[in-house]
Homo-oligomer: A and B are copies of this chain.
Amino acid sequence: MRTLKVALLGCGVVGSQVYRLLAEQADDLAARIGAPLEVAGVAVRRPSRARAVEIAPDLLTHDAMALVTRADVDIVVEVIGGIEPARSLLVAALSAGTPVVTANKALLAEDGAALRRAARAGGADLYYEAAVAGAIPLLRPLRESLAGDTVRRVLGIVNGTTTYILDQMDTCGSGFGDALEEAQALGYAEADPTADIEGFDAAAKAAILAGLAFHTTVTAADVYREGITGVSAADIASARTLGHVVKLLAICERTGGGVSVRVHPAMIPRTHPLAGVREAYNAVFVEAESAGRLMFYGAGAGGVPTASAVLGDIVAVARNRLAGTRGPEATTYADLPALPMGQAQTRYHVALDVADKPGVLARIAESFARHEVSIKAVRQEGRGDDAQLVIVTHAAPDAWLAACVADLGAMDVVRAVASVMRVEGEGDE
């Protein structure tokens, strides 16, 4: 019986778990694939360094390029992360017809197109289930289960750090700074939390999700990005009054001739399937034309869950390799334009501290009308000097809404714009 040889690039948090599972599940994997797997080599930066798993010294190499281009390697598994040398290694493998399984979020979000081109040129499989939302199966559901359907919209909670901080602000009433400090103390946020709280991590995942959902090329640079540093206790309180909760969302929408891909905090109804997602869990809500509303939920990160996703891909790629065929990637890659944020259809929640005088609402409503923004609901809270108008709009181009809010802030009857936040997911429950 033929043996399939696997080249493992990287042996860190995920790689060591992949190595361990390949050994521990060897019999089961061989049965499911129809042939045994064998690790041909493990490329690491420092072969002599101590590792979480024991690896035969003769398998370790620091020459990753020599490993991926070995004629006897059947599958390349990349868990190094980062752009280079990962990109050069994977392009070399794919161009030579060797299938690739990768968990490299950054590379796929920045230059997934280069990998897809190489995969097409070499006629090789490119699988990356582990690159977005950890162990949650998304690649196959989006690429295969919905292959006869059309995805309209994806809403994802794909960053655990921001989920934790926003949840703390909601349950404990703490401000952003305090919640961030606590998250850092507990290890939920890194010492430099920029990638998480400014939405860079979520934007990379949004780019990959949009590509999967709409069969098009979206890079992280195409994604409008707004982090959670501007979310105030007043925003959270406003959301609560509305029966909503604030989450950092990755949003991908198929819209008139293009796609809108964006990451920003938004209020969603507490009854929305995404509202209950907490701590390190991720969830991706998908709306498809025929299938309707779907949600996928699970561990968004972690060495073992991510390794499970890598192994699922290895099985698929190995089976294709044995059968001399390829998976369904790339058969119909479109090139839909990414629309600028100003053209995205959004809805706003606006809380205005106003002077409680006759005619105030009329003047404010007139300002919305001038910007062609339709008001869905308006509510006055408090009286006299404490009066606040809370307005929820219907959908309109984001630029119109932003311009309207700027105008409102300049009106003499408006003492302050207490809270502005987009609203998503109403009617999804």
Contact = CB atoms under 8 A, between A and B. Distances in A.
A299 interface: yes
B299 A293 contact: yes
Contacts of A294: 135-137, 296-299
B332 A32 contact: yes
Interface in A284-317: 288-299, 302, 304-305, 307-312, 314-316
A29 B146 contact: no
Contact of A305 (B292, B296, B316): B292
A25 B150 CA distance: 9
Contacts of A276: 271, 273, 276
A290 B316 contact: no
A56 interface: no
A323 interface: yes
A34 interface: yes
A140 interface: yes
A32 B331 contact: yes
Contacts of A331: 31-34
Contacts of A291: 135, 298-299, 305, 308-309
Contacts of A298: 291-295
A148 interface: yes
B297 A273 contact: yes
A319 interface: yes
A341 to B, nearest CB: 28
B312 A147 contact: yes
Contacts of A33: 331
A325 interface: yes
A297 B295 contact: yes
B297 A297 contact: yes
A350 B141 CA distance: 41
A114 B323 CA distance: 26
B141 A137 contact: yes
Nearest to A275: B276
Contacts of A129: 145
Contacts of A310: 148
A92 interface: no
A21 interface: yes
A29 B136 CA distance: 26
A255 to B, nearest CB: 18
A149 interface: yes
Contacts of A146: 137, 308, 312
A298 B189 CA distance: 32
Most central of A144, A288, A295, A326 by chain B CB within 10 Å: A144
Interface in A219-237: none
Interface in A235-292: 271, 273, 276, 278, 281, 283, 288-292
Contacts of A323: 323-326
Given A293-B298, A294-B297, 14 more contacts: A17-B290, A25-B150, A31-B331, A32-B328, A135-B288, A135-B291, A137-B146, A137-B294, A140-B141, A147-B315, A289-B308, A291-B308, A295-B297, A320-B325
Interface of A: 17, 21, 25, 28-29, 31-34, 129, 135-137, 139-141, 144-150, 271, 273, 276, 278, 281, 283, 288-299, 302, 304-305, 307-312, 314-316, 319-320, 323-326, 328, 331-332, 429
The 4 closest A-B pairs by CB, nearest first: A148-B311, A137-B145, A290-B308, A137-B141
18 contacts: A21-B290, A29-B147, A32-B147, A135-B290, A135-B294, A140-B141, A144-B312, A144-B315, A147-B315, A148-B308, A276-B276, A278-B429, A283-B295, A291-B308, A291-B309, A292-B298, A293-B299, A323-B323
